[in-house]
Amino acid sequence: MTRHTLAISLILVLANIYGSLGRIAFEKLTDFDYRGNTYYTVKNLSLYECQGWCREEPDCQAAAFSFVVNPLIPVQETLCQLQNETSANNPSAVPQRSVNMYYMTKLQLRSENVCLRPWAFERVPNKMIRGLDNALIYTSTKEACLAACLNEVSVFGRVHFTR
């Protein structure tokens, strides 16, 4: 085995190890939307089906799910938009107010503690929970902060983090 082949093999092994450490999770915003590039749209799915499509699609970075009750017939009409580009990943991007909308950003987190819920985190822009922090951890990225939150266990339960 040559040195070059050995190096490539080592990289592939490390990629498999570190890739398996990550779990897919979602961060949900209610009644907010981000600009993005929609590559697939489907009507009349449930929220769970919409999110499931995004989870399974490697290109999907976010799912915008809108719902409206049709007053003429007692049926809720839904629209699921999968985005392969989203401004939600830009820390300086500002979400736009939107009615009857769930916006779910797909996250890759290094944690085995991702809940079996449709979303692991719910964010409310311009709001903060104060006075309930049991620990303070500094991280370099939002994903690292969220993973630290999932991995942290204290006497009092889960810990709230800010970045």
Structural domain includes residue 157: yes
Looking at residue 150, its pLDDT comes to 80
Q: Considering only residues 114 and 17, tell me which one the structure prediction assigns the higher pLDDT.
A: 114
What pLDDT, on a 0 to 100 scale, did the predictor assign at position 154? Answer: 63
Q: Judge if pTM exceeds 0.75.
A: no
Residues 108 and 44 in one domain: yes
Query: Residue 123 pLDDT more than 90?
Result: no
* Residue 8 included in any domain: no
- Residue 1 falls within a domain, yes or no? no
The domain tally of the chain equals: 2
Same domain assignment for residues 29 and 109: yes
Q: What is the CATH number of the domain that holds 76?
A: 3.50.4.10
What is the predicted pLDDT for the residue at 64?
96
CA distance to 27, 75, 86, 97, 123, per residue, from 90 (Å)? 14, 36, 8, 17, 15
Confidence of residue 9 (pLDDT cuts 50, 70, 90): very low
Residue 107 lies in a domain: yes
pLDDT digits (tens, 9 = 90+) for 143-159: 888 888 888 776 555 44
Does residue 83 share a domain with residue 148?
no
- For the cut 50, the answer to whether the pLDDT of residue 4 exceeds it is no
**74 and 99 housed in the same domain:** yes
- CA–chain centroid gap for 152, Å, is 19
What domain range is 152 assigned to?
Answer: 128-163
50 shares its domain with 65:
yes
* Domain membership flag for residue 10: no
pLDDT at 8: 38
Residue 16 lies in a domain: no
Is residue 107 domain-shared with residue 138, that is, in the same domain?
no
Output 136 or 154, whichever has higher pLDDT. Answer: 136
